[in-house]
Structure 1
């Protein structure tokens, strides 16, 4: 093997080592920062669900960073300045991907402000109906509220139970505020007489941003809804 060939192989090996160090360092930095901030895989899944645009952009930047860094391997060994420039560009792409991913995960960790309904309980009493349910939400903004409405619903003549516009009458409403962490966790229990024409109960819970949207509406701030047929 000639001296020039051996020198070229050594230079190529050094190139590969430098690229590997850059890629490894970037991955270690990303993992370390996520661990420091407490951003687990659950938060990343939530970020992908709630902020898909940011996560797609972060993935594109990370892919570009790997491609750019590996491009350095294709350069001749006697182009050190070009190699450095390409590696720096790759590192910048990694940093952009990191910032986007951290932003998305941080926003997801803070909650989304969407309420949920759970722990539903209905008791038919002699003169009234007792309804209980839990409302939970996290990431509620300071100026926002969670509104809860309960309607008695009944079918008009010729309507079926899957109709979207039954007869309604408001039986209960409340406005819930979040604590200092932006969380709402409230157990609501109320009793009210069910009108003779009513055959069910509607529960509608929405944040201020989603108030007025119908049940089943698309979008991040759609309300949580529940319909119970009593007869």
Structure 2
């Protein structure tokens, strides 16, 4: 008697249908869309990692730092693209539309991250604007001392701040004090000035100014890095 033959096992799996392929591709695209939905969180994480806390965010917004606005706008567009992609039906034409929308979302997502790095660096580094603090004038007119501080953040390593003390009105042009301040390795200038003051006869005002020569202008000029000025009236 012959041994009965067992039915041969089918080794080839059934090829997926077009509908199954579309469903699988649509699911993967949906996963990408969900990742892009966290674009703002990712941008905020990048800025926080680079040291951009709430204090620097308000400083950047006050200075109208364009990278912060552009990065936020790109992140919002990326989120809109991701939500739009999630709402597209996974048909043959829908998968094409979903792919195109997600490609656009990825472009805006990467742009928002890149611009966020630039914005964080600008905001955290300061803008080089000088300020004059703790101004004091001590002693009688015959033996006065002038004390004040000069501070600036984000000064470029090749730049400097010029500080001058000028009597007003003055028949002879000239400064009672003039100095050039250079930044340290972190781009910061923090200098305390303490000088004897002997103003000429007829002087009623002592003018103190600190300016960045790269951005000259008057004291009331509306510029991001305009000079700092103050006046002391003496009797």
TM-score, normalised via structure 1 length: 0.79
Report which of the two structures shows the higher radius of gyration computed on alpha carbons: 2
* Residue in structure 2 matching 1:180, options 147, 165, 185: 185
Out of 72, 77, 80, the residue aligned to residue 64 of structure 1 is 77
Residue in 2 that maps onto 1:200: 205
Where do 1:162-181 residues align within 5 Å? 169-181=174-186
Q: CA deviation at 1:129?
A: 2.4
- For structure 2, the residue ranges without an aligned partner over 5 or more in a row are 1-22
Output the CA distance in 2 between the equivalents of 1:25 and 1:57.
17
Does residue 23 of structure 1 match 2:27? no
- Taking the aligned partners of 2:39 and 2:178, their CA distance within structure 1 comes to 52
The answer to whether the Cα contact below 8 Å between 1:205 and 1:224 also exists between their aligned partners in 2 is yes
Does 2:235 match 1:220? no
Instruction: Decide whether aligned partners of structure 1 residues 16 and 82 sit closer, same or farther in structure 2, where only a CA change above 3 A counts.
Output: closer
**Contact 2:39 2:76 (8 Å CA) reproduced:** no
Aligned residue among 31, 37, 42 for 2:55: 42
Does structure 1 retain, via aligned residues, the 8 Å contact 2:40–2:75? no
> How many residues are treated as equivalent by the alignment?
210
Which whole-Å CA distance do the structure 2 matches of 1:204 and 1:22 have between them? Answer: 52
Q: Given the two structures, how large is their TM-score scaled by the length of structure 2?
A: 0.78
- Return 5+ residue gaps in structure 1 as ranges: 1-9, 157-166
Secondary structure in 1 matching 2:149: strand
Task: Determine if contact 1:26/1:91 at 8 Å carries over to the other structure.
Answer: no
Superposition RMSD on alpha carbons, in Å? 2.8
Partner Cα separation in structure 2 for residue 55 and residue 205 of structure 1: 29
